[in-house]
Structure 1
Amino acid sequence: MQPQDSSVQYSRWNNSSQDEVSVAPVSSTEEASGYARISRKLCSGKLGISLKVLGGVTLFWAVFILGYLTGYYVHKCK
């Protein structure tokens, strides 16, 4: 038996080969979790694009410097 506050309902008909699954939207009285709010704010809109660009540039320079230092020590003349 399913609890009444469940938002996913599954029903299977004996006469048919089709299964029916219905998902009800979350009630508007429930607030989104803190993680979901922060994730939505940091991953979308102008702020999200800015953070992705900044992260990409930072990753590029980190790999570049790591490669430079590795190459320097590997090819260093003795």
Structure 2
Amino acid sequence: MQSQPSGVHYCRWDDSGRDEVHVAAAAPMEEEASSWGRISRKLCSGKLGITMKVLGGVALFWAVFILGYVTGYYVHKCK
């Protein structure tokens, strides 16, 4: 979940003929989002991030391998 950046949006293409200005405020949970952002950056970047991605890939490989093995066993099982 990403918070919308604060800023001003100006819209002059309105059917009413009036110009509109929308002001977006910063999200109130910005502090919580930044802590999740720090955890995400720590786990997904640098040497730790590479290690996590490699371990995740190996785990995914073995999960698919075992699922395929079990499925193949039951599909090709002799009657």
- The TM-score normalised by the length of structure 2 is 0.61
Matched residue pairs, number? 59
Q: Percent identity?
A: 75
Match of 2:57 in 1: 56
Give me the whole-angstrom Cα distance separating, in 1, the residues matched to 2:77 and 2:67. 15
Unaligned runs of 5+ in 1: 1-5, 14-29
Q: CA RMSD in A?
A: 2.5
- The TM-score normalised by the length of structure 1 is 0.62
Higher helix share: 2
Runs of 4+ in 1 over 4 A off after TM superposition: none
